[in-house]
Structure 1
Amino acid sequence: MTKRIHFTAEDLARTRVATTLGVAAETLDSIKRLRAGDSTPAFHRWRTAVGAESAGSLREQAGPLLALMPDRGPQIDMASLAGDATDIDEAVDHLLAAPRALVRLEVEYLDIHPPHRAWAGLLADGDRAARLELAEALRACHRAAVAPYWQQMHAHLTSVRTDYVHTMAEGGVERLLETVGTPLVRWRPPVLEVRHPCESDIHLRGRGLIVVPTVFSSQQAEVLHSPVDEEQPPVLALPTVGGRAHGSALWISRGPAERSLEDLMGRTRAAVLAAAADGCSTTELARSLGISPATASQHASVLRKAALITTRRDGKAVLHMTTRLGAALLASTTPGFGP
């Protein structure tokens, strides 16, 4: 099925790109991945680090948030309630200050499980205690699933947005629409077709479109609308971490041991070594770490000369992999890289 986004010339002129849906939306999507038992290789290290806690104390702490994420039908839109803030404190402030009418709109159509309906009703009616419980649940989920990796995630998202901007600068908005999100998105002027479980048509009517990269969103593009302001442009959220394991560099939590590795070889070079643990190309290195391909290639060359990685051809690209020595160094200094 397909969602079709209909553009006019005015919509093309008003289309822009943003860096992130916000830390709150990424937190919600991270919990969706944990609940779904997602097996995407790129998220393996993250699941390993977070999974044990999510099965115990996190599940209890996240209760109010999980109540608004029913198995069937729509789920709560945290981007709408908490905004696109990149700081969790700011996101919580937005959540606590969200208009009561907006909260009601977000809650009243959810298929809430019977044990949680009374609490959800209080939330929809503006009960302060219920909203504080939701805010604390969001904080708990962020603390466990996102906070240790947010710096790397934000660098990755910034790098992807920079790519979008360069594409627009060189070929205009239509060039961006032709290349972004393939194969999930297809540009057939003047319609952008988005692969989606629901069939629908969206007419922008001069509002334009906001294109936003994401980390934790499911492997499909999402089109998001403001439930209270029809004049706001829709948002096209695009997943940027694919099925291969090249997202590993995103999941490096900086503990004391890791900082010692950074002291030894430099932060970026340590991240390049970690990213190569599961194999990645120079382009994938550059994107996941927010550096240029030339810089990524230079760091890879140094690590190769030190016998910490190997490099081989993989079609038109080159694939970097840690050697036994490199893997041993990572295992001894970085949590989660052991056998």
Structure 2
Amino acid sequence: MRSASVAGGRPVLRIHFTAQDLARTRVAATIGVAAEVYYSLELLGANRELPHFRTWRSAVAGRMGADTHPLTSLVPVRGPGLDLLALMGDVPSVDHAVDNLLHAPVSRLRREFEGLDFHPGHLPWARRVCEGDRDARRELADAVRACHRLTVEPYWDRGRSELVALSTRCANLVLEGGIDLLLRSICAPLVRWRPPVLEAPYPRRVEVRLQGRGLIITPTVFAKHPVSLLWDPLDSAQPPRLSVPALRGPLIDTGRAEADGSAIRNLGSLLGRTRAAALQVTAEGCTTSELARRLRVTAAAASQHATVLRNTDLITTSRRGGSVLHHITPLGLALLRTGALTEP
């Protein structure tokens, strides 16, 4: 995808909606783990103060090493960055994202690397990757995992909470007043809904006509810009994305929910050990097949566990192409984090 970041000043970005566009506008649960990883690297290199990320940057800066270099070397000197969203998808699982990268067509790699302004010393490495060199691609995949472990994973409990909270607020707005209320409320007053046009400050005047594709409003944790518009020039049928920041306070390492062994044991007493583990897995977002693999059960059993969790409002389920995606709800996350359950 290509991005257009919304900044201060005039003129404006104007997104034109038709009735069909409004009907097809939706809110995504996440922009995907790969994009969040890459955005975190862009944040580290940002030359301006970002209050919500001050503590995070102090903890992460200077810790990059040889294992992260294959990815950090692909952050351009200037201009737009590498689009890991297009290469690795918007999946919440880092394993799934890496698998997408390893199987991405060479033509797609070349297209995404085209025109990026890399440091001269990194050009040979970048060429190896974009030409589909198998070893280079695996090194890049390993670097994505390394960066994820350093910049995203320790902070994801807090980040996931914010994503769930924003998605829930958006869903409530739609229930209360439809898409009209959602567009009037999202990132106000920076973004203005003047039917049938959504306006936001932008470095130059840009007119976007959705042409019946709709818009995907996508919360992000590691957002360098207040609002960004993302689109895929290789797929004109895919709706553009309007990414909006999910953080409402400083990003800090709150620890992983599963670190509290007593809480998980108590949760297992209430839900059963396997179903409690299923709730933990959905906290990262997963498909039914991923859930089955992580639980080491059949797909049918995983689907049954997901149904019980969904019927008790602990998770939500949505379709994405041929896959079914499960995400934890605020209620499920609160239950998982607090472990406020006692054994009988």
TM-score above 0.5, yes or no: yes
Runs of 4+ residues over 3 Å off in structure 1: 258-263, 289-292
Q: 1:88 to 1:62 in 2, by over 3 A?
A: same
1:3 equivalent to 2:5? Answer no
SS, match of residue 61 in structure 1: coil
The residue that corresponds to 1:31 in the other structure is 41
Q: Which runs of 5+ in 1 are unaligned?
A: 267-288, 300-339
* Cα distance in 1, alignment partners of residues 57 and 121 from structure 2: 28
Q: 1:41 to 1:69 in 2, by over 3 A?
A: same
* Cα distance in 2, alignment partners of residues 148 and 20 from structure 1: 17
Q: Considering only aligned residues, what root-mean-square deviation do their CA atoms show, in Å?
A: 2.9
The answer as to whether partners of 1:8 and 1:206 remain within 8 angstroms in 2 is: yes
The answer as to whether partners of 1:156 and 1:290 remain within 8 angstroms in 2 is: no
The answer as to whether partners of 1:72 and 1:111 remain within 8 angstroms in 2 is: yes
The residue that corresponds to 1:228 in the other structure is 234
The one-letter amino acid of 1:86's match is P
The residue that corresponds to 1:53 in the other structure is 63
The residue that corresponds to 1:316 in the other structure is none
The one-letter amino acid of 1:48's match is S
SS, match of residue 159 in structure 1: helix
Q: 1:52 to 1:70 in 2, by over 3 A?
A: closer
SS, match of residue 239 in structure 2: coil
1:130 equivalent to 2:130? Answer no
The one-letter amino acid of 2:170's match is Y
TM norm structure 1: 0.70
* Cα distance in 2, alignment partners of residues 68 and 184 from structure 1: 31
The answer as to whether partners of 1:196 and 1:220 remain within 8 angstroms in 2 is: no
Q: Deviations over 1:13-57 (max 9, x none)?
A: 110111100111111111111122664332233223323423xx2
* Cα distance in 2, alignment partners of residues 189 and 241 from structure 1: 27
Q: CA deviation at 1:144?
A: 0.5
SS, match of residue 213 in structure 2: coil
- Identity over the aligned pairs, expressed in percent? 44
- Which of the pair is proportionally richer in helix? 1
Task: Choose from 250, 253, 256 the match for 2:255.
Answer: 253
Q: 1:239 to 1:252 in 2, by over 3 A?
A: same
* Cα distance in 1, alignment partners of residues 49 and 262 from structure 2: 29
The one-letter amino acid of 1:25's match is A
Relative contact order, higher structure (CA 8 A, sep 6+): 2
The residue that corresponds to 1:105 in the other structure is 111
The one-letter amino acid of 2:34's match is A
The one-letter amino acid of 1:199's match is R
Q: CA deviation at 1:12?
A: 0.5
The answer as to whether partners of 2:157 and 2:254 remain within 8 angstroms in 1 is: no
- Aligned positions, number: 264
TM norm structure 2: 0.69
1:17 equivalent to 2:27? Answer yes
SS, match of residue 63 in structure 2: helix
* Cα distance in 2, alignment partners of residues 290 and 148 from structure 1: 20
Q: CA deviation at 1:254?
A: 4.0
* Cα distance in 1, alignment partners of residues 28 and 58 from structure 2: 30
The residue that corresponds to 1:146 in the other structure is 152
